[in-house]
Structure 1
Amino acid sequence: MTEGNFVDYVKVYVSSGNGGKGSAHLHREKYIAKGGPDGGDGGRGGHVIIRGNTNMWTLYHLKFKKHFRAGHGGHGGSSRSTGADGEDIYIDVPLGTVVRDTESNHILFEITEDQEEKIIAEGGKGGLGNWNFKTATNQTPRYAQPGLPLEEKHITLELKVLADVGLVGFPNAGKSTLLSVITSAKPKIADYEFTTLKPNLGIVEYRDFQTFVMADIPGIIEGASEGKGLGHYFLRHIERNSVLLFLIPADADNIKKQYDILLDELRRYNPEMLDKERLIAISKSDMLDDELKAELKKELDKELPIKYLFISSVAQQGMIPLKDALWNMLNA
């Protein structure tokens, strides 16, 4: 899947089906002049249903199809025949999709499980046929109910990536390189900022065939929560991660300051993000000799409020301790 095929935000129009009309038919048969009412009920209009699909991870299939209309219910017939129900329309979405009302921006529901189904536009109920209105005093009702009208909505589908660990860092901090080394994912890697324009997912293989999912999020810059850089485009993907792994290069001017800026951007976007488990990985540490590393460690022990590790993706140093630390945090 190329970056251009990753779509995580679409607006669509949905319309359910009208309910079918009830029949006002009167029974007529040879030798039975006045057989009475036998009009059947109308069929239900089709629903539009949002369904979770674990095999999808993008909304790309909705990029060019923006209108969904369910079938109308059939009208009732004679001999109490009920009209056919309208055809239901299913919209398959990846797990982690949030459905909003476009006009009010109100969240209607979220899809988080495979084959989970939610009706977004309910089909109109079919009208009752005239045989339902027959009474002792009104034995030949010549009226029936019309079906209820369809329901139509403009909705926004917004994907928030489902991953156990989210990589957080400035552009060009080495997040994509780490993901390519620690998982079998093959993200785009280059020596310029904002190489990653879309989230990338990879599966980390741990001991005893156990796994967890890691997400590489496009780099954060100062002011991201106000829309600078890639802004809100990527920050929402971090909301669902259980653990946040802050990646800060060893050659940064001030590691503590970079961590504080990243944390502040998350706080400004959503204060609840500060409740997540956090770990700092000092990347590109193969550039440090033992003396420099010891000196930096003494400094970081005083400054950093949370646990940190020295790693090097290129030299594949510290990968096992990193996996151990993340696994323990996920299963604490």
Structure 2
Amino acid sequence: MLNNVAVALVNGVAPFELGVFCEVFGTDRSEQGLPVYDFAVCAAEEGPLGSGGGAFAIVPAHGIERLEEADLICVPADREAPVRDYPEPLLDALRRAVDRGSRVLSVCSGAFVLGAAGLLDGRSCTTHWMHAEALRRRFPRARVDPDVLYVDQGPVITAAGTASGIDACLHLVREEHGAEVANAIARRMVVPPHRDGGQAQFIQRPLPRTACDTVGEVIAWMARHLDGEITVEHLAERAHMSPRTFARRFQQETGTTPYQWVLRQRVLLAQELLEGTDETVEAIAGRCGFGNAAALRHHFLRTLGTTPHSFRRAFRGPRAAA
């Protein structure tokens, strides 16, 4: 049972992610009949710990030895995570925690701490989409999924960025105490108990660039004509190649197929129009080359893990979505 929760801090800790753990697990809500955790914030390094941005310093009440009692160890983000090393006593404490059956939970770049402890090897995990490639390079045995809000892999839970830490914490509460308790805590925090979709809807994927002129002009033409029918045969004709040669060359230079490229750019355009205009979903579907709202919804959901209406509500508010 999850009763004892400790947060391990290093220099450069991100205040928001620390605050998430304090709010979910460190707030006494016993007057509502909600669980109360034995909660502690622990220093994994010596001296006052600087916050991300250096606006203030934090002096935790406990040292790293407090981690030995925890059923759950939380690791918030820190601003130097992609390149820095971590204290070996902290990494040892995390490994021992998992060995004795405790859980560990990272948020955002806190995943680099778990990776340094070897706890991501062979496991699915996530981090903020901006750090996903760096996490993959530094810990090649980790299976990094940059599209999800959080991943629960047995004793190791990793959350994407900032608010995704709330999602992961409420997931743990829901698993330990049931949906009613998780929903009550979410209401106190004035946050949704569960969010639709994943991190994919927040990732910025600009138009791929190619340094080669072989398909560059064709790509520019494709980007201007997303609302029309685009076939490999037509593209090959514009590039003065056979369809097979064009498809092979396109894959070599862009890393994807013409079909997948067009589909991704159509979804990107739909995102821009949903966020920046008042056009109906049906009209946007036509402008993006999907033909109708049903097709747009299908590809939007498959690519981003959420619906066009949910995306518009998230980025423009419920009044715009209506």
Larger RCO, structures 1/2 (Cα 8 Å, 6+ apart):
1
Between Structure 1 and Structure 2, the one with more strand by share is: 1
Same fold judged by TM-score > 0.5? no
TM-score normalized by the length of structure 2? 0.30
- The TM-score with structure 1 as length reference comes to 0.30
Structure richer in helix, relative to its length:
2
Q: Which has the larger radius of gyration?
A: 1
